[in-house]
Amino acid sequence: MVVWLACAAIVAGSVAALAQRNLKLMLCYIIVAEVGYMVGGVWLTNDLGFTGTVYHIMSDIMMTLCLFMAVGAIIYKTGDTSLEAMRGIFRKMPITAVVFFIGGFSIIGIPPTCGFFSKWYLISGAVETGQWNFVVALLFSSLINAILFFRLIEIGFFSKFDKDGRAIHQHIVMDEAPALMLTPMIISAASLLIIGVYTSTIVRTIIQWTIPTGL
What is the DSSP secondary-structure string of 142-200? HHHHHHHHHHHHIIIII--B-TTS-BHHHH----PPPHHHHHHHHHHHHHHHHHHHTHH
CA atoms lying within 13 Å on the CB side of residue 2: 10
pLDDT of residue 99: 96
Tell me the CA end-to-end span of the chain in Å, nearest whole number: 19
pTM: 0.89
pLDDT of residue 168: 55
Q: By three-state DSSP, how is residue 5 classified?
A: helix
pLDDT of residue 166: 54
pLDDT of residue 213: 73
Q: How far apart are CA 35 and CA 53, in angstroms?
A: 10
pLDDT of residue 171: 60
Tens of pLDDT along the chain (215 residues) come to: 999 999 999 999 999 999 999 999 999 999 999 999 999 999 999 999 999 999 999 999 999 999 999 999 999 998 999 988 898 888 889 999 999 999 999 999 999 999 999 999 999 999 999 999 999 999 999 999 999 999 999 888 876 655 555 555 556 678 899 999 999 999 999 999 999 999 999 999 999 998 887 66
State the amino acid at position 15 in one-letter form.
Answer: V
pLDDT of residue 157: 81
Q: How far apart are CA 179 and CA 194, in angstroms?
A: 22
On whether the CB atoms of residues 113 and 197 are closer than 8 A, the answer is: no
